[in-house]
A and B are shown apart, each in its own frame.
Chain A
Amino acid sequence: MRILGHKLTVTAQIGIAIVVINLFVALFAPLIAPFDQATPVGDAWADPSAQHWLGLDNLGRDLLSRLIYGARMSIGLSLIITALSFLIGVITGFSAAVIGGWVDQLLSRIVDLLLSMPTLIFAFVILSVLGSALPVLIVTIAILDSTKVFRLARSVAVTIVSLEFVEAARLRGEGWWWVVTREVLPNAIPPLTAEFGLRFCFTFLFIAALSFLGLGVQPPDADWGSMVKDYRDMINFGSAAPLYPAGAIAILTIGVNFVVDWMLAIHSRGQGEGA
């Protein structure tokens, strides 16, 4: 099977399938989920049955439905944050590369500083005093993550800017905005797309980790990370409950990584002996 002239490997196909299914579930959750995510429908920790495929949770709610609704929160939140972080990172990164000079130096120093500090710890510190309301969560993580996007965007742009056609545009008298949007951007799309996938994975895992530690999504909202946290004690009684949301996180991340890996492989060829 081919997309845009490139052959799809087995893993890439699996990855695309996973991503598509997840997006579908997230979009159509209310239509797919058999039960409501917040209403108890039976005894706590009831075993899986024909009606409740994954059983019931600690408050008697249907696990499968919670899992399906959790997709919305997890995936939706991560997409918003990644998009925001990307917007900030790409605009600043491209501008730094194109304008150069002290603007570039200043931005790069600030970003280097931020990057050399552990993100989780920082998010912790900030969220511990500011609380974890959704807007705070979104903005904090987006800003912290945009530093990584900045780095990549800048390095991609610097490579492109060193090519003569950018100089030709400058010599023509084109302004900075034209150079960024019409000369640099069209050539930067392949590496940026791969990076978007990677950033999404990272953000997704990061939010889930924060929720697991109690600092991410707060009740009554539920994402997969906080579900793992809620069900963790059950593992000692042999129940696989926390594994379901954790597994869902794992599967989506694996899927996206498979696709990104395939995209990156297309753009780099190694060297070796032919026949």
Chain B
Amino acid sequence: MLKLVLNRLGLGVLTLFAASVLIFIGTEILPGDLASAILQNTATPETLAKMRLDLGLDRPAYLRFFQWLFGALHGDFGLSLANGRDVLEEIAPRFANTMFLATYAAIVAVPLAIGLGLLAAIRQGGFFDRLVNVVTLMTISVPEYFLAYLLIKYVAVDLGWFPSLASVSSDTPFLDRLYITFLPMLTLVLVIVAHMMRMTRASVLSVMASPYIEMAILKGLKNSRIVVRHALPNALAPIIAVVALNLAYLIVGVVVVETVFVYPGLGQLMVDEVSKHDVPVVQACGLIFAATFILLNMIADILGILSNPRLRHPR
């Protein structure tokens, strides 16, 4: 089993490396001439030449790649093309904000989702189950900005309970933060709770179709015990996978939510900088998002391996 875990770790590192290669290719190789891609309409022969020099385009691609990667591992992502400041300095506070929002949402969503999912599985076919099924099917279908704007219009603007813009700064006190970011957190929670709850329910029900569950029924055990003691341990692996998957999704969904609520996080930064063709910032944001995503997936896989009883107690 240890071998499997190490295997997975190695794979994770490899994936991260591949992601960085792809990001680099995507931003610097694909457009052909990077300088004109950045300068677009404002390009003149002189500005193009200067830009090429600044970017170090006279050096071969693989060299540039390793220099970039090396720098990134040390926290040096270069300077922003838009305002000349150090990229890491720009990004750090934004990253902290995004992490705060994501963690806030995760802490609320995960226990809620698993609890609801288990409850729906125990009362399968009942009114509660069918209602929850339909509601979550609807929630996962809608785009985040729909939910977000719905909340803004009716809760923030019409009712005035929460602010419609989530503007925080580095010295906003903790409790105020929780209040200001409540709506964006709620939006994220609504989406991922639905996903995780459905998958928890589906995993538990799928395990419930196993023969050893029929055996448990024939032993006369209570339904709640069957679900919790017999089904859940075997459903853990897929549930963990789904939770991790959704946490990884949070990283991506946060981009849209930040944009709607104008929240100063990494996602919003990336959106802004993309339209300015600020390549170093886009690269850095891309790399950080990808790394977090890959890390979470890897943890999910490893936890899945650890929770498989056949692997924990080999013959």
Number of residues on chain B facing chain A (CB within 8 A): 59
Question: Which residue from B18, B27, B37 sits with its C-beta under 8 Å from A125?
Answer: B27
Which chain A residues (23-45) contact chain B, with CB distance < 8 Å?
A: none
**Interface check B290, CB cutoff 8 A:** yes
**Interface check B248, CB cutoff 8 A:** yes
Interface contact B19-A242, CB-CB below 8 Å: no
Which chain A residues (68-105) contact chain B, with CB distance < 8 Å?
A: none
Query: A181-200: contact bitstring with B at CB < 8 Å (1 yes, 0 no)?
Result: 00000000000000000000
Interface contact A116-B143, CB-CB below 8 Å: no
Interface centre among B251, B270, B279, B285 (most CB of A within 10 A): B270
Interface contact A236-B157, CB-CB below 8 Å: yes
**Interface check B96, CB cutoff 8 A:** no
Nearest chain A CB to B35 CB, angstrom units: 12
Known contacts A121-B290, A235-B164; decide if A254 and B251 are in contact (CB<8 Å): no
**Interface check A272, CB cutoff 8 A:** yes
Total A-B pairs in contact (CB under 8 Å)?
Answer: 145
Interface contact A273-B217, CB-CB below 8 Å: yes
Known contacts A129-B30, A130-B31; decide if A257 and B290 are in contact (CB<8 Å): no
Query: A112-124: contact bitstring with B at CB < 8 Å (1 yes, 0 no)?
Result: 0100111111101
Interface contact B146-A124, CB-CB below 8 Å: no
Query: A31-65: contact bitstring with B at CB < 8 Å (1 yes, 0 no)?
Result: 00000000000000000000000000000000000
Docked CA distance A126–B162 (Å): 36
| A-side contacts of B274, CB under 8 Å | 124, 128, 214-215
Residues of A within 8 A of B (CB): 11, 113, 116-122, 124-126, 128-130, 201, 205, 208-209, 212-215, 225, 228, 232, 235-236, 238, 240, 242-243, 246-247, 249-250, 253-254, 256-258, 261, 268-273
16 further interface pairs, Cβ-Cβ under 8 Å (given A129-B279, A213-B271, A236-B164): A117-B19, A120-B255, A121-B290, A124-B274, A129-B31, A212-B145, A214-B274, A243-B150, A253-B141, A253-B143, A254-B137, A261-B137, A269-B209, A270-B124, A270-B206, A272-B125
